[in-house]
Amino acid sequence: MSGIPRRALRAGGVVAAAALVLTGCLQNPNASGGSGGAGGAGGGFADGGSADGDKVVTILGAFGGDEEKNFNASLAEFEKASGIDIKYTSDQDFTTTIKQKVSSGDSPDIGLFPQPGGMIEMAAQGKVQPIDTYLDYDKLQGTLLPGFLDAGRYKGRVYGAPMRNAVKSIVWYPKAAYEKGGYNQSPDTIQQLRTDVADKIAATGITPWCIGWESDQATGWVGTDWVEELMLRMYGPTVYDDWTSHRMPFNDPKVVKALDEAAKFNKDPNMVLGGTKGVLNTAFGDAMTPAFANPPKCMLHRQGNFATTFYPKNVQADLDNQVGIYVFPKFAGGYDGQAILGGGDLAALFNGNDPDAQKVMAFLTSDKFGGPWAKAGGWLSPHKTFDLSNYPNETTKKIALIANKASVLRFDGSDLMPKSIGSDVFWKEMVKWENGQSSQQTADNIEAAWPKS
């Protein structure tokens, strides 16, 4: 899931995903047939939201608490300079609420989608304004991480732009113990990660991998992330897109092979702490905790940048000295570039005729947004051009640099699949797979469950 799945923290509330994503060619014609450019006020066909030109812009999103506070702080200077009053509403059940509001004609001016599927569904209904009609598409594409805009694409046109990034392709390790062991701090390939790191750790009597899948009703999402990482690295972004959009069947031999590769991490009792029972019974947020024991019980943790929020408080307080990181590496013989699996929040415009809402969208999706949020921690910009000095520690800066240097970013695959698959069957079948079901049977079962239309 993108970042931490909402159901991992509370039952329900997953944004519906549509099978329609990425069905078009990878181009972005605007209304007049060009390749991008900023539109002006008026002329929008998505006409929801509040009154046009009233200097009030309403935004609905899923994040609250400290995140809401830091979001509002990041808008304060813009509001003062522009004279626009931005009214943000947090809704934990964003999925249900945004659908109800759009259906009843009471949509916000802007919606912040933690998963692209629900936005694509509304774009297909003509409820969302394509970004090339009011933003400088080419400029935006030039500053964003490569491939990020594709997450908001429907039939060749992009309907949402990212305002937050989540980087999943990170390997974490307990710094002192890892460096004392002399293990490779930048393996080039997954194969080298096994032979030059995991096997050497295992030889010392320590189980290499810290992996936990338990997440209440959402148990299994961590397993889907492993498959997505391997699909992207083994076959590259084009095949990955074919897989997530179901242009390629789920039980294609490539997917089965990726599942078999994922088993080498998740199902080998010599590689993962506690074996399969440990994987399924360990909460995803607790997976890395044994790495900070003395001596460590495991050493390697593949998880997103949000993982630090679950680490022990003393580790969080001294992050740069307590943990080390490197990018989850390439697969030898697979995609030659460095791919990043990620996620984020996409901003979408429901009020295509409001110049105020257009201005807010332009700022919200620019590399100028987010300084106060970044300094507070827990937020990454999706822009390569964002000022890294805003990040509060070297670990976060390093994560941002990993993303900035990537050849391509692809959104979490289960977020791009229909909800009945990506947030249900895929999770459940991965649990069966971890319990011993074969890769072929797992892929066959998911393919059989895929919606027919």
Other CB atoms within a 10 A radius of the CB of residue 83 amount to: 8
Which residues have CB under 8 Å from 324's CB, separation 6+? 172, 173, 174, 175, 178, 179, 185
- CATH architecture of the domain with residue range 170-339+416-449: 3-Layer(aba) Sandwich (3.40)
- Diameter of the chain measured on Cα atoms: 67
As given in the structure block, the two tokens for residue 26 are 């990878």
Which residues have CB under 8 Å from 275's CB, separation 6+? 267, 269
The CA dihedral of 279, 282, 285, 291, to the nearest 10 degrees, is -80
* pLDDT tens by residue, the chain, 453 residues: 555 655 454 333 333 333 333 233 334 444 333 333 444 444 568 888 889 999 999 999 999 999 999 999 999 999 999 999 999 999 989 988 999 999 999 999 999 998 888 899 999 999 999 999 999 999 999 999 999 999 999 999 999 999 999 999 999 999 999 999 999 999 999 999 999 999 999 999 999 999 999 999 999 999 999 999 999 999 999 999 999 999 999 999 999 999 999 999 999 999 999 999 999 999 999 999 999 999 999 999 999 999 999 999 999 999 999 999 999 999 999 999 999 999 899 999 999 999 999 999 999 999 999 999 999 998 999 999 999 999 999 999 999 999 999 999 999 999 899 889 998 999 999 999 999 999 999 999 999 999 997
Angle of helix 426-434 relative to helix 221-244, nearest 10 degrees, comes to: 120
Which pLDDT score, from 0 to 100, does residue 1 have?
A: 53
Segment (H or E) for 172? strand 170-174
- CA 265 vs CA 6, 18, 190: distances in Å: 25, 30, 11
Q: Residue type at 222?
A: V
Domain with CATH 3.40.190.10 in the chain: 6-166+343-400, 170-339+416-449
In eight-state DSSP terms, residue 380 is B
Tell me, rounded to whole angstroms, the distance of Cα 140 from its chain centroid. 19
Which pLDDT score, from 0 to 100, does residue 25 have?
A: 33
CATH 3.40.190.10 assigned to domain 6-166+343-400? The reply is: yes
Burial class (CB in 10 A: 0-12, 13-18, 19+), 99: middle
Instruction: Indicate the pairing of strand 161-167 with strand 339-349.
Output: antiparallel
Which pLDDT score, from 0 to 100, does residue 286 have?
A: 97
